[in-house]
């Protein structure tokens, strides 16, 4: 986290110095495009919707179990599952609509970067961690963000801000207390995951000079699938054992409160900060150069 903060600070400093130098030489003009760098952190409390386990012995399929609704509800009552997602992305976008004297403003941004995904299962009954799955900041991440605003006057307006993010990859840093290690057996563990997040925020916006502050409710969802595979080999005879667990999860909550601050520091440079708080926690920040 410290390295990420220092990296963002370094990029911000370089952009500010360059922008200030250029801004002193260039008269104000309409700037339609923007590029920059952004950071996101999303922490959500999840619940199971589907779960399947299956075992294999020397390649032969063994018992398969599809958990029914009662079993899923029982697991959700006993376990707390938390997903933490963070990403650093290059952002590029453009103003799609902003006519002089017009009421409408529409801006779109594409985000491409790297993400980390950490997943923890906590057993409430015995007060212990059952499983932790981690990854470094190495998983591909993609996103799309729009800001659609209607201005009643130069100061007040309303905004709709839809956003979507997708990430996928393989996590191999796994600490598993459910399927514990068997002494003398060789083993490998990995978890393939897909992460799709979407939200839409309905905000009241106030603008004064180069500063816009927006606040209001947000509605969000997240669809997370995991395919966990544990393979063991008995070195004494070469027998192989494999356990597969497939799970699907969604957030326990779906609504939060949002605040967005957009500050045009100078004509060439804009800083954006976003925070959402409810049962889950989301923050996002971006530094962009207006072209």
Average pLDDT over residues 53-75: 93
Average pLDDT over residues 190-200: 96
pLDDT above 70: residue 267: yes
* Gap between the Cα atoms of 116 and 190, Å rounded: 15
User: % helix / strand / coil in the chain, to the nearest 5?
Assistant: 10, 70, 20
Query: What's the Cα-to-Cα distance from 67 to each of 37, 53, 72, 226, 229, rounded to whole Å?
Result: 43, 8, 6, 15, 18
Rounded mean pLDDT, 142-158: 97
d(CA 43, CA 58): 39
Domain borders along the chain are 45-86+106-263
Average model confidence (pLDDT) for the chain? 91
HSE-CB at 213 with a 13 A cutoff on CA atoms is: 1
Per residue in 240-268, is it b (16+ CB within 10 Å) or e — as a string? ebbbbbbbbbebeeeebebbbebebbebb
Distance CA 181, CA 15 (A): 50
- C-alpha torsion 2→5→10→13, nearest 10: -140
Q: What is the DSSP string of 40-72?
A: EEEEEEEEEEEEEEEEEETTEEEEEEE--HHHH
| Residues 275 and 286: beta-carbon distance below 8 Å | no
Percent pLDDT > 70 in the chain is 90
Amino acid 63: pLDDT: 83
């Amino acid at each position: 986290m410290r390295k990420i903060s220092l990296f963002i600070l370094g990029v911000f400093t370089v952009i500010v110095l360059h922008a200030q130098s250029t801004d002193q030489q260039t008269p104000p003009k309409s700037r339609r495009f923007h590029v920059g760098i952004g950071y996101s952190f999303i922490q959500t409390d999840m619940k199971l919707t589907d779960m399947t386990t299956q075992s294999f012995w020397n390649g032969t399929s063994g018992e398969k179990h599809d958990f029914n609704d009662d079993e899923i509800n029982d697991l959700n009552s006993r376990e707390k599952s938390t997903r933490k997602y963070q990403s650093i992305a290059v952002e590029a976008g453009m103003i799609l609509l902003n006519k002089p004297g017009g009421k409408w403003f529409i801006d779109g941004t594409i985000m491409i970067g790297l993400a980390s995904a950490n997943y923890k299962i906590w057993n409430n009954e015995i007060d212990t961690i059952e499983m932790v799955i981690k990854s470094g900041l190495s998983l591909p991440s993609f996103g799309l963000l729009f800001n659609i605003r209607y201005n009643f006057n130069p100061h007040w307006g309303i905004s709709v801000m839809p956003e979507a993010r997708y990430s996928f990859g393989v996590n191999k840093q796994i600490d598993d207390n459910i399927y514990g290690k068997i002494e003398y057996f060789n083993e490998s563990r990995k978890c393939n995951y897909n992460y799709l997040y979407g939200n839409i925020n309905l905000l009241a916006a106030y603008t004064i000079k180069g500063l816009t502050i927006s606040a209001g409710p947000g509605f969000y969802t997240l669809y997370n699938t995991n395919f966990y595979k544990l393979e063991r080999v008995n070195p004494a005879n070469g027998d192989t054992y494999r356990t597969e667990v497939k799970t699907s999860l969604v957030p326990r909550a779906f609504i939060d409160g949002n605040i967005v601050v957009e500050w045009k520091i100078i004509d060439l440079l804009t800083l954006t900060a976003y925070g959402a708080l409810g049962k889950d926690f989301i923050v996002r920040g971006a530094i962009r150069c207006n072209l």
